[in-house]
Structure 1
Amino acid sequence: MNPSRRTALKTTSAFATLVSLGIVTQSQAQAAVDRAGFQVKTLADALKAIGGTPAASDQITVISPDIAENGAVVPVGVSSKLPNTTEMYLVIEKNPTPLSCGFTIPAGTLPEVQTRVKMGQSTHVVAVVKADGKLFSASKETKVTLGGCGG
């Protein structure tokens, strides 16, 4: 079975179970899956969907390779040293839909996340962190090569 299909089935069945037990409503389950911010087409619109223009911070570390040989699977992440970090977002500047992922960080949790994203071309990976109700960001450029040849 395709890993993405398996993930979709697990997620859908988990939300269906929660709805059937009355733990969450159907609209809450839908809101957790579908967010309008993930459909915007520009970096500025993605930042607006997150909550506005963030201030630069040296307390945020973007985890991304300098050179990615395979743009289909690029490991990226973000870690924050800011106190009271509640949300983290990864924005891939030149992707067709720049807002790649968002994470809610529960209190008492280490504010560090990692995932894999698809990148069509060399671009900046922007990490946006919400801490104490304010937005902060850091970015790192990642070059995507064609076949690992630097093209």
Structure 2
Amino acid sequence: MNRRRFLHHCAALGALLAGGLPLAARAAGLAARPPFEAKTLAAALQALGASETRSSADLLLEAPDVAENGASVPLDITSKLPDTRRISVLVDDNPQPLAMQLEFSPGVQARFHGRVKLNRSSTVRVLAEAGDAKYLVSRPVQVTIGGCGV
């Protein structure tokens, strides 16, 4: 079992135990993984339904200009967009561009601090779904030691 599948199953189990979703919806969520299986950035964006995106100063991505180790690149993401319900992190040149998805409850400020792996120097993109729109911000990151491996 790979890390993404493990984390996805843990999140689904948490939702199941919390009783937040009907059982059929929880089971469907475990099977619906096309964005994570995409092998190109274009395919991942298409699977996420991001054919039309907007830019906004209320979606912030902080990442280093140069990361010494691609296996652990720090990210700070903040969305001040009202009703942000999901944030997806994509890395252009990774074998699987969609690195993670974060879902937020209504009324919660969408904020995340963590680390992501980069295969090599690449552009990191953050896609936020807020209201009826999708917003995209990106930042190039130079990597001196690779992280993902192909």
TM-score range, shorter-chain basis?
A: 0.7 to 0.9
The number of aligned residues is 139
In structure 1, stretches of 5+ residues that fail to align are none
Q: Give the CA RMSD over aligned residues.
A: 3.0
Flag as ranges the 4+ runs of structure 1 deviating above 4 A.
Answer: none
- 1:32-83 superposed Cα distances (whole Å, 9 cap, x missing partner): 4751110101111111111123122222111211111111111223211211
Counterpart residue number, 2:39 = 41
- 1:12-51 superposed Cα distances (whole Å, 9 cap, x missing partner): 5x839x48x9x86377246247511101011111111111
Whichever residue aligns with residue 59 of structure 2, its letter is: I
TM-score normalised by the chain length of structure 2: 0.77
User: Is residue 113 of structure 2 the alignment partner of residue 114 of structure 1?
Assistant: yes
Assess, with a 3 A threshold, how the Cα gap between structure 1 residues 27 and 109 changes in structure 2: closer, same or farther.
closer
Whichever residue aligns with residue 139 of structure 1, its letter is: S
- 1:88-124 superposed Cα distances (whole Å, 9 cap, x missing partner): 1100011110011111111111111122211111111
CA contact (8 A) 2:74 2:114 kept: yes
Whichever residue aligns with residue 132 of structure 2, its letter is: G
In structure 2, stretches of 5+ residues that fail to align are none
Give % identity. 33
Q: What SS does the aligned partner of 1:31 have?
A: helix
Report matched runs for 1:21-100 at 5 Å: 25=23, 28-29=26-27, 31-32=29-30, 35-53=33-51, 54-100=53-99
TM-score normalised by the chain length of structure 1: 0.77
